[in-house]
Structure 1
């Protein structure tokens, strides 16, 4: 029997990871955090003083980077060259490097192969920028999740504040707009809504409302499969 795949795409700060993780939990699927995989590669580049604009060095480094996802006691672990880097990949610096480095075709091809392999082995919920358009074009359900830049900036600001980190909301919004532009205008597999993806604007919705909406879409497509 063919495994089921759900693709959730969208810009930075739209809530993709939170929503995808909960959807996977509700359905008993494997959650594949593709953003975390890109962040792990970005961490490697930062540690090795590789500039995000140095395409040649990034390409040369790719064969030396191994990123995998493991599950232990129900927790997803992102493993970079044998090291659990869960606690190191959520900084702004790593996020910016991941967005900039993901433009490099070698980076994307290396991780896409692993992501596609995971989808062949299990029922998955996968989120990212190009899941429905490039990584899993045959996904059973595709969602394009977004929110206004102001709302995405507010969420990020609140998240940082909760962690005791001072941040300027206007600077966060500018950073989000810059990342959107890079993601939507990169030459290889840019961020865009797949033609058969369902558009979901989360600006005025709670997390639970978004989850229930997507679960309803899943129930509809699952009924058609039977």
Structure 2
């Protein structure tokens, strides 16, 4: 019986990883593992607990003792931390900014990566993030690096913000996108980079469906197809 594979999608903010990852997981019948949501959940807890974002030691302890749960199908992924539902709360701009800061901390990343490996160890999973193919699962069956021009990525995020009723300018969103790129690429712990064996895709002039179809074509070439029911997976981060 064919083994269920591990599909890793990395790329910068706004490249379409989340949308593509969800659709790809649906088509494959795999679990969708939104790694960024795990950092956002931890950031939400840190802000609620009043933990300073510059206190690396306290944030590392928080990551090591928190239980993050991802459940549901890819289209309706639910996120909880220590049993508390935070799916919608973690999408707020201040949570995203805090998550991008704590994600640069080596101790936090070590704990979260351990949790991600636990969730995906049985295969049948699509992961998306910034180091899924280089650090989390360097031996993933198929790796993609999804990219897009900065102005295209900023416009996508700007449209999302406006759709959620948040009044921000495109110029501000572009500045934040470029700053996020800089932090992701320059951080010492698991910087954003393309894995040597990852397939590079630029989504700037492609529709979501075109990206998904191209990925499926590549996956079919490298991995036998097998669908499976999604199930809840959870892990307690550890050192």
Query: Is the partner of 2:91 in helix, strand or coil?
Result: coil
RMSD: 1.7
2:155–2:170: 8 Å Cα contact kept in structure 1? yes
1:16–1:127: 8 Å Cα contact kept in structure 2? yes
Alignment match, 2:144: 143
1:3–1:119: 8 Å Cα contact kept in structure 2? no
Query: Is the partner of 2:128 in helix, strand or coil?
Result: strand
Q: Which moved more, 1:213-222 or 1:55-64?
A: 55-64
- How many residues align? The count is 223
Question: Is 1:92 equivalent to 2:93 in the alignment?
Answer: yes
For the structure 1 residues 155 and 55, does the alpha-carbon distance in structure 2 shift closer, same or farther, using more than 3 Å as the test?
same
Structure 2 CA distance, aligned partners of 1:199 and 1:52? 33
Q: How does 1:149-188 map to 2 (within 5 A)?
A: 149-188=150-189
For structure 2, the residue ranges without an aligned partner over 5 or more in a row are: 225-239
Query: Is the partner of 1:89 in helix, strand or coil?
Result: helix
Alignment match, 1:13: 14
Q: Which moved more, 1:174-183 or 1:116-125?
A: 116-125
Post-superposition Cα deviations, 1:84-127, rounded to whole Å, max 9, x if no partner, equal: 10010111111111111011122111111121122222410000
Structure 2 CA distance, aligned partners of 1:43 and 1:14? 24
Alignment match, 1:67: 68
Structure 1 CA distance, aligned partners of 2:10 and 2:75? 24
Post-superposition Cα deviations, 1:123-174, rounded to whole Å, max 9, x if no partner, equal: 1000000000000000111000011111111111111222222111111111
Structure 2 CA distance, aligned partners of 1:168 and 1:50? 30
Query: Is the partner of 1:142 in helix, strand or coil?
Result: strand
Alignment match, 1:79: 80
TM-score by length of 1: 0.93
Q: Which moved more, 1:144-153 or 1:162-171?
A: 162-171
2:9–2:143: 8 Å Cα contact kept in structure 1? yes
Post-superposition Cα deviations, 1:31-87, rounded to whole Å, max 9, x if no partner, equal: 111111110001011112223222233223333422121227973211111111001
Structure 1 CA distance, aligned partners of 2:7 and 2:130? 13
For structure 1, the residue ranges without an aligned partner over 5 or more in a row are: none
TM-score by length of 2: 0.88
Structure 2 CA distance, aligned partners of 1:183 and 1:103? 8
